[in-house]
């Protein structure tokens, strides 16, 4: 993606255009785009990062609608290796889950399948993270309906060095003193 000038000693010399290009590459990566896709995006400046994630949402929705849960699990696992949990949660899982949260039974079923697959994948990630050094933490929710969100937040925290357990059901907050 960059071809900087070189000194006689072989050191790289970056000009202002190179530095601008580096900043652009960093912006794409910070927005969750895979390094392997950045070159394509740089060649097409009109591409919007939201469109990239919308395409990923459509791919995920296609996997859900096909009913092939093995392929869905494999695809999510591959994404989990390419992107941090925070990026996937913010740009893919939460937006798609919002789209599926409605009164239509078919969409509710797809959301339930997605939530089950996500919780399963995240539980595996959390178990792996607990084998590493870190501080222990328990993710708890009070008066919430969306327990999958607890798992997503736990997954994010586990990638920040925490050894996470998730209280699988929300607690009712007591109103008595």
Give the global pTM: 0.72
Asked if pLDDT for residue 26 goes beyond 90, the answer is no
Same domain, yes or no: 77 and 111: yes
Domain coverage including residue 33 = 5-43
CA neighbor of 122 nearest in space, from 144, 155, 98: 155
Residue from 123, 138, 128, 132 nearest 161 by CA? 132
Residue 82 lies in a domain: yes
The residues near 39 (Cβ < 8 Å, ≥ 6 apart) are 1
* Structure confidence at residue 25 as a pLDDT band (50, 70, 90): confident
**Rounded CA separation 144/167 (Å):** 12
* 53 and 36 part of one domain: no
Residue 174 falls inside a structural domain: no
Specify the number of domains making up the chain.
Answer: 2
Q: Please indicate, yes or no, whether residues 28 and 61 belong to a single structural domain of this protein.
A: no
pLDDT range class, residue 30, cuts 50, 70, 90: confident
Q: What does the angle CA 108 – CA 152 – CA 128 come to, to the nearest 5 degrees? A: 125
Domain identity same for 54 and 88: yes
CA distance 2 to 133: 37
Are residues 53 and 108 located together in one domain of the fold?
yes
Residue 58 lies inside a defined structural domain of this protein: yes
59 and 102 part of one domain: yes
Residues 87 and 128 in one domain: yes
Statement to judge: residues 58 and 94 lie in one domain: yes
Highest mean pLDDT among 1-15, 32-46, 103-117: 103-117
Token pair for 136: 């222990």
pLDDT one-digit tens code per residue, 35-75 = 777 776 666 655 566 677 889 999 999 999 999 999 999 99
Judge whether 73 and 67 are in contact, CB under 8 Å: no
Is the residue at 14 inside a domain?
yes
The confidence score (pLDDT) of residue 59 equals 94
Tell whether 58 and 121 lie within a shared domain.
Answer: yes
Note the pLDDT of residue 27. 72
Residues 18, 92, single domain; the answer is no
Above 60 in pLDDT, residue 156? yes
How far, in Å, are 13, 37, 71, 169 from residue 54 at the CA level? 38, 15, 19, 30
Q: Identify each DSSP E strand in 49-161 by its residue range.
A: 135-139
Note whether 21 and 73 are same-domain residues: no
Q: Is residue 164 part of a domain?
A: no
């Amino acid at each position: 993606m960059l071809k900087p000038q070189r000194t006689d000693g072989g050191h790289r010399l970056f000009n202002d255009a190179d530095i601008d290009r580096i900043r652009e590459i960093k912006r794409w990566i910070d927005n969750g785009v895979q390094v392997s896709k950045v070159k394509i995006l740089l060649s097409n400046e009109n591409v919007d990062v939201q469109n990239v994630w919308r395409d990923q949402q459509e791919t995920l929705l296609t996997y859900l609608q096909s009913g092939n849960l093995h392929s869905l699990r494999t695809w999510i696992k591959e994404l989990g290796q390419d992107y941090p949990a925070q990026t996937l949660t913010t740009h893919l899982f939460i937006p798609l889950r919002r789209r599926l949260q409605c009164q239509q039974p078919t969409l509710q079923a797809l959301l339930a399948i997605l939530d089950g697959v996500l919780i399963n994948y995240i539980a595996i990630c959390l178990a792996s993270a607990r084998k590493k050094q870190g501080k222990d933490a328990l993710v708890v929710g009070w008066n919430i309906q969306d327990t999958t969100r607890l798992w997503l937040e736990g997954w994010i925290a586990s990638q920040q060095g925490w050894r996470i357990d998730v209280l699988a059901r929300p607690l009712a907050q007591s109103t008595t003193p």
